[in-house]
Amino acid sequence: MADVDGAVRAGRSIGARLAANRERQRELYGAPLGDRVRRLTLCLDVSQARLARTLGLSPAMLSQLVSARRVKIGDPAVLARLMLLDQRCQGVQAPPPPRVVDALLTDVARARWQWAGARVPAQRAPSAVDALRGVSEPARLAAAAVALGQRFPELAEVLRQAAYRPPA
């Protein structure tokens, strides 16, 4: 009986620790990482392992973050990629076409984090994609791409790029 009581107490203490870790993630990231990761995997219809590779983490590390066995993302570049992907998926209701998801994940995986105040290369003239991003949020751009898709496929592609690709 003592072994059962000890196991129950240990289970409660582990549960309490995970709950505390999720609360700490909420303080650090605005939501538990499990919630954010689930939203991204559903939004993009990708596995957690593929998401981990895109972010620059091992699948095991992402699993520990999702389950709140670990609290923090230690690498600022990984956090920056997660934030970029989260931003690009804001408001997306259905998974984009696979080729768009592939392009988005490739772009995010290539993104490099820089310290604020680091020397920035010379500014380039804004493209049509940049201009569209300044006019509307990604979800509305994606919806417009769907609406124009059949009749104006070339315009729909520009809208999809603006909705799902990070700025160059």
Query: In the chain, which segments carry CATH 1.10.260?
Result: 13-92
33 or 127, greater pLDDT:
33
Residue 152 corresponds to which amino acid?
F
How distant is the alpha carbon of residue 123 from its chain centre? 26
The third-level CATH classification (topology) of the domain covering 13-92 is: 434 Repressor (Amino-terminal Domain) (1.10.260)
Q: Per-residue pLDDT averaged across 101-126, rounded? A: 73
Q: Cβ distance 100 to 51 under 8 Å? A: no
How distant is the alpha carbon of residue 14 from its chain centre? 28
pLDDT 10s digits, 42-96: 999 999 999 999 999 999 999 999 999 999 998 989 999 999 999 888 878 888 9
Cα–Cα distance between 54 and 115 in angstroms, integer? 21
**What's the whole-model pTM score?**
0.63
Cα–Cα distance between 43 and 140 in angstroms, integer? 15
pLDDT 10s digits, 131-162: 787 777 888 888 888 888 888 888 888 888 88
